[in-house]
Amino acid sequence: MSRSQWRRLPVPAATAVAILLSLGVIGAQTVITPPANRYSAAEDVEIGRQASVQVAQQLPMLDDREVTSPVASIGRRLVDAIPPELQHPEFRYSVDVVNVREINAFALPGGPMYINRGMIQAARNEGEAASVMAHELSHVALRHGTAQATKATKYEIGQLAGAVLGAIIGGRVGGAVSQGTQFGLGTAFLRFSREYERQADLLGSHIMARAGYDPRDMASMFQTIEKAGGPGGPEWLSDHPNAGDRAATIRREAQSLHVQNPMDDRGAFAAVQARLRRMAPAPTTKEATRVVPAGGSPSTSPPPTGFGRVEPPSSDYTAYTEGDFFRVSVPSNWRELRAKNAVTFAPDGAYGNVNGQGAFTHGMEIGLVGSETPNVRTATDDLIGSLARSNPSLSRPSRYDMVSIAGRQGLHTILSNVSDATGQQERIEVFTTLVGDGGLFYALGVAPRDRFSSYQVTFRRVVGSIQLNVRDPSLR
Ligand SMILES: [Zn+2]
């Protein structure tokens, strides 16, 4: 389960600036001055680079050229239209499409930009989608993230980068970056003041006009976003608070802007939307970032082998160290399959794809999920509830036993399920313990019902080998 899907689409540096300058923008447009900033542009780039690595690990990027290529073209067109005085040669703009349902978009300092599939699908036309990107690009060009951090304590660059992720995924995912104080910092880092929002709207409208889009599409996009209901709702508006009547402000500004090189809509964006409609519906961010379900991995590319003959667990064990997270020993004939917040160990023939999702029939999945409760029983119930959403036949625990996991008190139970790979009955052995500040560490052993008792011995040996990493204070 490689992460080759985490592909970044480069947007080449501005090349059309000179041409656009000559086209110009007429009228008395609002002059926008970037706020005070004690960070360097190079520091913006470094913060964005570090944060983008985490984003790529946590959020599912759509890897479909028929979608990403036209979206990257829109991004390139807009980047080229950033006014020259706000072009930072260090910045490296890129656009990724996040395969989640919420109507949202965000950009990181120095240039990495992310637009949710839900936002692309909600837009009524290319101009509306472009307007959200133009707004996000404006936050980047005006360096609002580090300007906002400037007002606060002096943070280390790594702290700022780490804080971003917690803000994006709302502290649902385990790991230090989404926890505690950094969460508040991250929120502040991506959620801007009304004045910054006003600046991003106005500069965004200028960029729109310079790029050949009707800036009034930005005004109508706000209405489109506000009207959009359904699961997820207009997340973007809560991250980008309405600075007064922003639609009216943009329409007023648009009167002083002139679109001299109107873009020629040849239906590329409509084709993107049509393609997205043909795909399976996007998950919510919460679904996409939650624990990988038993027997299913929402995040991963197709595993190297399909289902077939499965060798029994080897009596030799191999130790794996999972980053700063944990150490574990598993039968030497099990492979390590990494997903987003979890790792699965399974033998050849026991893992493959079912309905586009990774699944396994024999082996163990070990991971960490954010927990909203300090009660291990409630947290484990929540975990099983989330597993049941993608495993409709999963039974509910009739009881929990107390166990020790890595020297901590934990819970244990055994569930039944119908394997989506084989259609046969399987058993899932669940081990959980609370870690750090709001995380639930879990291990799930999966085996067909008729092989389960022999696999239980292996599961217990694997769980008995787990060492949670003491170097990470959040896991202590
Ligand atoms: Zn904004």
User: From the CA of 268, how far away is ligand 1's center (Å)?
Assistant: 26
- Residue 153 is predicted with a pLDDT of 55
In Å, how far from its chain's centre is CA 323?
A: 19
Mean pLDDT rounded to a whole number for the chain: 78
Centre of ligand 1 to C-alpha 201, Å, is 7
pLDDT tens column, 354-366: 765 678 899 998 8
Q: Could you tell me if 216 and 225 are in contact, meaning their C-beta atoms sit under 8 angstroms apart?
A: no
User: Residues within 5 Å of ion ligand 1 by Cβ?
Assistant: 197, 200, 240
d(CA 211, CA 51): 28
Q: How far is the CA of 383 from the centre of ligand 1 (A)?
A: 34
Q: Residues 439-465: what's their mean pLDDT? A: 91
- Calculate how far, in angstroms, residue 289's C-alpha sits from the geometric centre of ligand 1: 23
pLDDT for residue 191 is more than 70: no
- Tokens at 110, concatenated: 């120095």
Cα–ligand 1 centroid distance for 136 (angstroms): 6
Stronger pLDDT, 271 or 437, i.e. the higher one: 271
* pLDDT value of residue 199: 94
What pLDDT shows up at residue 236?
A: 64
Task: Kindly give the distance from the C-alpha atom of residue 240 to the centroid of ligand 1, in angstroms, as a whole number.
Answer: 4
Kindly give the distance from the C-alpha atom of residue 406 to the centroid of ligand 1, in angstroms, as a whole number: 44
Read off the pLDDT of residues 171-185 as tens digits, 9 standing for 90 and up: 332 222 222 222 233
Report how far apart, in Å, the C-alpha atoms of 226 and of each of 220, 221, 234, 366, 470 are.
10, 8, 6, 40, 46
> Distance between CA atoms of 26 and 203, rounded to whole angstroms?
14
Structure confidence at residue 155 as a pLDDT band (50, 70, 90): low
Tens digit of each residue's pLDDT (9 = 90 or more) over 67-84: 999 999 999 999 999 999
Residue 132 confidence class, pLDDT cut points 50, 70, 90:
very high
pLDDT score, position 426: 93
Higher pLDDT, 56 or 427: 427
- Ligand 1 centroid to Cα of residue 237, in Å, is 8
Highest-confidence segment of 3-12, 202-211, 289-298, 316-325? 202-211
DSSP H helices in 170-313? 180-190, 194-211, 216-227, 235-239, 246-254, 268-278, 285-289
Q: What is the pTM of this model?
A: 0.55
Return the higher-pLDDT residue of 383 and 180. Answer: 383
**pLDDT above 70 for 21:** no
Of 388, 387, 370, which Cα lies nearest the Cα of 437? 370
Identify whether the C-beta of residue 107 lies closer than 8 Å to the C-beta of residue 137: yes
Decide which of 4 and 451 is more confident: 451
